[in-house]
Amino acid sequence: MTFDRLVFLRLLVGLALFAAAALSCAYLDNYQLQVFTTLAMFCVLCWGWNIVGGYMGYPSLATIAFFGVGAYADGIAQVQGLPIGAAWLCAAAAGAILAVLLGTALLRLKGHYFAIGTIATVEVCREISNNWSELTGGAIGLNIPIQAGDPDFVGRFFFLAMLGLALIAFLATVLVDCSRFGFGLRCIRENERAASMVGVDVFKYKVGAFVLSGALSAAAGGIYASMVAFIEPKDAFNLIMTIEIPVMVMLGGMGTVFGPLVGGVFYVVLKEFVWAYFINWHSGILGVIIVAVIYFLPQGAFGTSWSALFAKARSRARATP
Amino acid sequence: MALGQYLVNGLLQGGLYACLAVGFSLVWGVLNVVNMLHGSLVVLGAYFTLYGVQQMGLPLYLVVPAVCVALFLFGYAIQRSLLNRVMAQPILITLTLTFGLDLIVNNLILHVFSATPRSLVTDFGALEFLGIRIPVVRIGGMLVAGLLTLLLYWLLRHSRIGRAIIAVRMDRHAAALMGIRIPQIYALTFGIGAFMAAAAGCAVALIYPVTPMMSGVFLGKAFVICVLGGLGSVPGAIVGGVVLGLVEGIGTLVLGPQWATSMGFLLMMGVIVLFPAGLAGRKGYE
């Protein structure tokens, strides 16, 4: 573990941002709180994905499978009468268990097969939750006890809960970024065979990353389920969301600490805007955004070397007087 | 005779599935691109067929080739203008790019044709054989789909372009050294993929009511068949299509219709983990 100035700086900036967000909840109205909670949720999902997709370089599309399983675990636990905090722990545990099982089976695959296998996981999870009516309520959905308290309190409660989870995800990412574990993951991304040759226990590292990512995503699902108090299969296992998450991280920069935060915030705000003004065209506009990101910012905001880009633009401007 | 009926249904469905998946499989195998746009291309083919027959009043045998050629050109243009620029990038990039294009195309379909299910009312009667009932239109749909798939197989084996496509699939660097223009072959292959998707769409329009929301279902089927049959192989797509059709038919009989889709996906996950080269796949094709 190298605990140098860069790590310290990152922690300082991150914690300042989180503190500002936590304090801001005193001044926000309920709509703004809702948007901020969604923001925090997507940041958790992005940070979770970034560990597998960014640092380890495996194109996982299973984020929403974990998210949905977490949502259902939380819902079922709460319906059984567990207190809300215990239900969230259940959600995280369910995600971790699923990640161990899935990881053992799927992480041996590479490239497209891994991507397709993870997409198939989302589909299978949705079909199972659709058909196993005794447990999940089937296609009708599952009603979860609504958190007691007046709307102002409940909104702030869930916002702070999601923000706390985002803080955990952020700290986990900082830790991964500067630790031996993260170094091993980067080695796997660059060349898996070479990584195993120099003594990285490739399988253990890969499953470890998957479990960390799965538990974070599932916990986010759990808090989300408690917040909306009603989940149904097509909501919990949404195929579009599972591809949106990598796009957000790509926007910010894969395999960076602040990339997922920047990408997630930018994308969610943009999406909120598109939903508000172009409801009929929202999926088309999202498609255009995705295509534009791939052509113009493939390395993300943090991966692009802006100074080089400006230098190029300047030299071009000079060449054409 | 219920089992026989389900088997026949499964086989007929399998022919359609083979046609549905063969273009997807070819694109995946040759271009190394998971084409998330494929489902929407199928739906687009189906809507164009409906439009040609219902709005313009043209006969079916004129509409089907026209739709297929139109989508071939569309696919060729997309590959030429958009996808060829990112072919060297990692999988995630091409996959998300085609997904973005899929969102755009699907939104356009939704806007132009609306979400109301539409169907082509065709009643050509049905055949009865040993108590098994087979609607003629489904035989027709399967024949068209099956014949086109076989035609593609022949094209790949015996024509110059087909051999070039196979060469690119085997080793694109060596193929480039042999004087094959790789971007051209990529664009042609994507066009052929779109052509086959359109053909499947025509068959779908004959058999089912069409909605824009079907594209995800078709894409899912294409995934499963492609993994079952192995990438980029036409016989593999036929085998995979028929296997999936039969598994769904029998699964419907044994477990009930609501489990049919999950059976397909579970089968696929089993195969993906156990035989990463597909059931009929060979080494070097993965």
Task: Give the closest residue to A239 by CA, choosing from A139, A133, A125.
Answer: A125
Q: Among partner residues A117, A128, A281, which is closest to B269 by beta-carbon distance?
A: A117
pLDDT, position A247: 85
Could B82 and A291 be called an inter-chain contact, meaning their C-beta atoms sit closer than 8 Å? Answer: yes
Cβ neighbours of residue B84 closer than 8 Å, sequence gap 6 or more: B183, B186, B187
- Measured between alpha carbons, how far is A288 from B100 in angstroms, rounded to an integer? 7
In chain B, domain spans: 22-215
Q: How confident is the model at residue A310 (pLDDT cuts 50, 70, 90)?
A: low
Question: In chain B, which residue's Cα lies nearest the Cα of A299?
Answer: B93
Q: Is the pLDDT of residue A216 over 90?
A: yes
Tell me the average pLDDT across A164-191.
Answer: 90
Q: How confident is the model at residue A116 (pLDDT cuts 50, 70, 90)?
A: confident
Could A115 and B28 be called an inter-chain contact, meaning their C-beta atoms sit closer than 8 Å? Answer: no
Q: Among partner residues B89, B99, B227, which is closest to A116 by beta-carbon distance?
A: B227
Longest dimension (CA), chain A: 73
pLDDT, position B154: 87
pLDDT, position A303: 63
For residue B159, the distance in angstroms to the closest alpha carbon of chain A comes to 29
Chain B partners of A130 at a C-beta cutoff of 8 Å?
A: 258
How high does pLDDT run on average in chain B?
81
Q: Tokens for A221, please give them.
A: 């699902």
CA distances (Å), A321 to each of A221, A317, B256, in order?
56, 7, 73
CATH numbers and ranges of domains, chain A: 5-319 (1.10.3470)
Question: Under a CB-based contact definition with an 8 Å cutoff, are residues B278 and B238 in contact?
Answer: no
How high does pLDDT run on average in chain A?
84
Which residues are registered as beta bridge partners of B85?
A: none
Reduced to 3 states (helix: H, G, I; strand: E, B; else coil), residue B134 is: strand
Tell me the average pLDDT across A212-217.
Answer: 94
Question: In chain A, which residue's Cα lies nearest the Cα of B274?
Answer: A105
Chain A partners of B101 at a C-beta cutoff of 8 Å?
A: 287, 291
A59 or A299: whose pLDDT is higher?
A59
Could B93 and A124 be called an inter-chain contact, meaning their C-beta atoms sit closer than 8 Å? Answer: no
Could A298 and B96 be called an inter-chain contact, meaning their C-beta atoms sit closer than 8 Å? Answer: no
Could B97 and A247 be called an inter-chain contact, meaning their C-beta atoms sit closer than 8 Å? Answer: no
Could B95 and A286 be called an inter-chain contact, meaning their C-beta atoms sit closer than 8 Å? Answer: no
pLDDT, position B229: 79
pTM for this one? Answer: 0.83
Task: Give the closest residue to A176 by CA, choosing from A43, A13, A305, A53.
Answer: A53
pLDDT, position A286: 83
Q: Is the pLDDT of residue B281 over 70?
A: no
Chain A partners of B91 at a C-beta cutoff of 8 Å?
A: 59, 111-112, 115
Question: Under a CB-based contact definition with an 8 Å cutoff, are residues B166 and B156 in contact?
Answer: yes
Q: Is the pLDDT of residue B124 over 70?
A: no
Of the CA atoms within 13 Å of residue A241, those in its CB half-sphere come to 23
Model pLDDT for residues A231-250, shown as the tens digit of each residue: 888 888 887 788 889 888 88
Which residues are registered as beta bridge partners of B35?
A: none
Model pLDDT for residues B213-250, shown as the tens digit of each residue: 888 888 888 888 888 877 777 888 888 888 888 888 88
pLDDT, position B120: 73
Interface mutation target, options B92, B231, B275, chain A, most CBs of A under 10 Å:
B92
CA distances (Å), B20 to each of A78, B46, B225, in order?
43, 12, 9
Question: Under a CB-based contact definition with an 8 Å cutoff, are residues B29 and B285 in contact?
Answer: yes
Question: Under a CB-based contact definition with an 8 Å cutoff, are residues A314 and A273 in contact?
Answer: no
Q: Inter-axis angle of helices A239-252 and A282-296, to 10 degrees?
A: 40
CA distances (Å), A235 to each of A239, A249, A285, in order?
9, 22, 21
Q: Is the pLDDT of residue B64 over 80?
A: yes
What percentage of chain B reaches a pLDDT higher than 70?
Answer: 92
Q: Other CB atoms closer than 10 Å to residue B173's CB: what's the count?
A: 9
Cβ neighbours of residue A268 closer than 8 Å, sequence gap 6 or more: A35, A38, A39, A42, A248
Chain B partners of A281 at a C-beta cutoff of 8 Å?
A: 107, 111
Tell me the average pLDDT across B37-63.
Answer: 86
Tell me the average pLDDT across B268-280.
Answer: 68
